[in-house]
Amino acid sequence: MKDLDSLVSFLIEIEELKKTDRYSTCPAVADSSAEHSWKLAFMAGIFANEIPGINKTHVIEMCLVHDLAEYVTGDVDAYLIYTGRITKERKHKMELRVMEEFKKRVQIGERIYELWNEFEEQKTPESQYSRALDKIEVLLHMIHAGVKHDSSPGYTTTYADSAVKKVPGLMPLLKNIKERLKKEYQKAGIEWKEEYEAFP
């Protein structure tokens, strides 16, 4: 492998992803971007055989790099976009700058950029599958952390719906998770409405 020294330097550099916190609007349930990416890649490998035509190796690679820019940009909490405090366009531009810089200076940067861009464009079955699981992972994390309160339950409970609609094979998974989430809401005294269970 050529330029091994610079590759090792990059691998040391991206250790910072382990320190990049998610859920700035709800720090009580925070995890790191690296933890999220690991869980997403694990899930992608598990369910790939259930979805016809999905390339397992490709989606695992995509999941592992989809948030890599965040060790530079920080995580942009999806709730900040939902409430209009940050736009999707701004988030994309921030990450694009980082990925373009990777492409120029890192030996494997071209591949990282290609995978990230595919995830962002959402034009391939693999990218849509990865995005759907990306959304589902958030719900799993919430269930594990325990729901204590939710100021926007309509947003939270339907967070994965539109992404999963593009990958119908994941509907049973989402249904199972929503049944569990419903129990968490009921334990916390949060009203669970019928529309939270409906798929688009």
pLDDT > 90 fraction of the chain, expressed in percent and rounded: 78
Q: What is the CA radius of gyration of the chain?
A: 17
How confident is the model at residue 147, as a pLDDT? 86
- Per-residue pLDDT reduced to its tens digit, 114-153: 999 999 999 999 999 999 999 999 999 999 988 888 889 9
pTM, to two decimals? 0.93
Do residues 175 and 160 make contact, with C-beta atoms less than 8 angstroms apart?
A: no
How confident is the model at residue 200, as a pLDDT? 56
| Domains recognised in the chain with CATH numbers | 4-196 (1.10.3210.10)
How confident is the model at residue 24, as a pLDDT? 66
- Write the CB contacts of 35 (distance below 8 Å, at least 6 apart in sequence): 18
How confident is the model at residue 1, as a pLDDT? 62
- Per-residue pLDDT reduced to its tens digit, 137-193: 999 999 998 888 888 999 999 999 999 999 999 999 999 999 999 999 999 999 999
How confident is the model at residue 26, as a pLDDT? 73
- Per-residue pLDDT reduced to its tens digit, 77-96: 888 888 889 899 999 999 99
Query: Measured between alpha carbons, how far is 19 from 34 in angstroms, rounded to an integer?
Result: 8
Query: Measured between alpha carbons, how far is 70 from 67 in angstroms, rounded to an integer?
Result: 6
Query: Measured between alpha carbons, how far is 100 from 102 in angstroms, rounded to an integer?
Result: 5
- Per-residue pLDDT reduced to its tens digit, 29-78: 778 999 999 999 999 999 999 999 999 999 999 999 999 999 999 988 88
Residue 175 Cα distances to 21, 48, 157, angstroms:
28, 18, 11
Do residues 180 and 143 make contact, with C-beta atoms less than 8 angstroms apart?
A: yes
